[in-house]
Amino acid sequence: MRKDSLIYVAGHTGLIGSAVVKQLKAAGFNNLLLARHSELELTSAIATANFFEKNRPEYVVLAAGKVGGIVENKTYPADFMNANLAIQLNVVKSAHKVDVKKLIFFASSCMYPRECPQPMKEEQLFSGYPEPTSMAYAVSKMAGMQMCLAYNQQYGKTRFLPIIPNSAFGANDNFDPQGGHVLSALIRRFDDAKKAGAKEVILWGSGTPRREFIYSEDIADACIALLMGDTDNLALPLNIGSGDDYSIRELAEKIAKVVDFTGEIGCDTSKPDGAPRKLLDSSRIHKFGWKPKVDFDAGLKNTYEWYLQNIAEKK
């Protein structure tokens, strides 16, 4: 990949997409093709095909899609399937048509069976049923992953690279307490509770499920390594994880410390827990040469500082 290669980052204003743009620019790649949702509707096959035919990007990072927390996944499963299936089909098909050199597709750790040996290896995909509360999202991502592998198989080139990051966090995350993922939603709730002088924050579920978190800029670095490296004989898909996990209560305690919330932490067991544990085995991409750089506590502090500067002060 040359420094002047035309790279399309779909979803460039979101959590992972914005990190990819930041890290690409830091590495000297400035010929970036970017389009906001208002400028390009990726669920439209015609609009997407026309965009690719007009611009003909050499590389694509598909970070666009509909994502949300456990409550949104459970409440709006049809919306999640419709949006993600349409975007994936349109972008991958159009990328193939203009003969892109590489495309990175973000799958999800939700694809793994709910009851899966830990840490989860790529070979364990399709070995059991995903967590029911995120089934629609998981199936849509499984379809996108398999579509990438199918194109590689049928056309004899390893151009479509599906990767499976675990729970991402960082700047430009969704901090909505209802629709965000657990880490960002808890940052918002603990910060609100501190400012309101609340004596307690109630966690959804029992607090016992364990989750692995990966800083968005580490994911972006993995993307750049894959775009630049020799991936012809790389086993796919690839897990992207930090190697460490925390219970939801442990996570809440860390966030409370960063936010400086001194009240109590309780649990609402009427809310769903989701899968008991989701820790990835990332040895495949470690062998390729990538490992995470950002310590979890440092990443958490950075994320809270970004929230204060960009979200909290605007409320």
Report the chain's C-alpha Rg in angstroms: 19
Would you tell me the crossing angle of helices 248-259 and 182-196 to the nearest 10 degrees?
A: 40
Torsion angle in degrees (nearest 10) through CA of 176, 177, 179, 181: 100
Q: Please state, in angstroms and rounded to a whole number, the distance separating the CA atoms of residues 216 and 227.
A: 17
* CA angle in degrees (0–180, nearest 5) for 130-184-256: 115
Q: Are 301 and 236 in contact (CB under 8 A)?
A: no
Q: Please state, in angstroms and rounded to a whole number, the distance separating the CA atoms of residues 142 and 149.
A: 11
* Of 299, 293, 284, nearest in space to 240 by CA: 284
215 is catalytic: no
* Of 86, 76, 176, nearest in space to 134 by CA: 76
* DSSP 8-state secondary structure symbol assigned to residue 106: E
Q: Are 218 and 293 in contact (CB under 8 A)?
A: yes
* Of 64, 93, 92, 102, nearest in space to 225 by CA: 102
Q: Please state, in angstroms and rounded to a whole number, the distance separating the CA atoms of residues 102 and 126.
A: 25
The catalytically annotated residue of 137, 151, 215, 304 is 137
The set of catalytic residues is 137
